[in-house]
Amino acid sequence: MKAPVFDYRLANSLDDLFDAFDEHGDEAQILAGGQSLMASLNLRLSSPALLVDINALDDLAGIGEDEAGGVRIGALARHAEVAADPLIAGRLPLIARAMPHVAHPAVRNRGTFGGSLALGDPAAELPACAVALGAELVLESRAGRRTVAAEDYYLGLYETARAPEEILVEGRFAKPDPKQRCGFVELARRHGDFAIVGIACVARIVEDTTLSDLRLVVFGSESHPRLAANARAAAEGADLSEASRARIAEALMADIEPMDNLQGSADYMRAIAAVLCRRAIGQMTEPAP
């Protein structure tokens, strides 16, 4: 199929973008990397009146350190840039572990970090990582900026806290605790395909053996990324033994609500989530990538 007819506008400033929103409302859609948008247009799942190209907005690009030692990732940072950046590898090892699973090289060369976060595809790796890491997402409109915690941004299946007149401009990640470790595992039909089930998690390792403050997110099988409260409670004070990981995985079953789909039943998704949970927590004993 071919995309429906639409108008195109290149935004040279955020004011240009906000003008388009004022004129067209939710009939105007943002074009950044286009790796999800163009497919939805060609499948006629989306039919905007206007596409506003934001690729000229250099202020939305780049990766850098903030004053507190945290990391800022601009909305227009390409996946390939994020994957190759030494600051990401050193400060955000969970994202470094996840990036090789994000689609394929051609997609990573054009797809944007902000586009993935803003859309909130339930099978996407980066929204799950943002929630697990307690990231803050910065949204801007003509009225100004506001910050939303990643765990509050994702509300349901492709439902987010972003208003139609807003754009996600950057993600902010706090400086990690030196004792924090991470785990990332996913199951896909082929490496780089959409995740059937995935786990992104971070926790503090106290005295080299004891888990604390586990933040674990299941994606792929769920409608949207959210923290697993029961798994967190089961992990507090636990060691990293196989028996402890099995108990955490069992507790996780009360946190998830898998969706039946063409990949398998809800029961299948639960079984896979339990296996991946044990593996992801097991990665916390390994050095960061």
**CATH number, position 120:** 3.30.465.10
**Domain for residue 2, yes or no?**
no
**197-238 pLDDT per residue, tens:** 999 999 999 988 899 999 999 999 999 999 999 999 999 999
**50-67 pLDDT per residue, tens:** 999 999 999 999 999 998
pLDDT tier, 251 (very low <50, low <70, confident <90, very high otherwise): very high
Is residue 73 domain-shared with residue 135, that is, in the same domain? Answer: yes
Is residue 265 domain-shared with residue 203, that is, in the same domain? Answer: yes
Domains contained in the chain, number = 3
**Domain around 14:** 7-53
Check which CATH number belongs to the domain holding 194 and give it: 3.30.390.50
Across 17-23, average pLDDT: 97
What are the backbone dihedrals phi and psi of residue 16, each rounded to the nearest 5 degrees, phi first?
-60, -45
Across 45-49, average pLDDT: 92
Is residue 150 domain-shared with residue 201, that is, in the same domain? Answer: no
Query: Can you tell me the distance from the alpha carbon of 85 to that of 152, in angstroms, rounded to the nearest whole number?
Result: 27
- The dihedral region occupied by 131, where left means phi > 0, alpha psi between -120 and 50, and beta the remainder, is alpha
Contacts of 207 (CB under 8 A, 6+ apart): none
Q: What is the pTM of this model?
A: 0.96
pLDDT of residue 1: 65
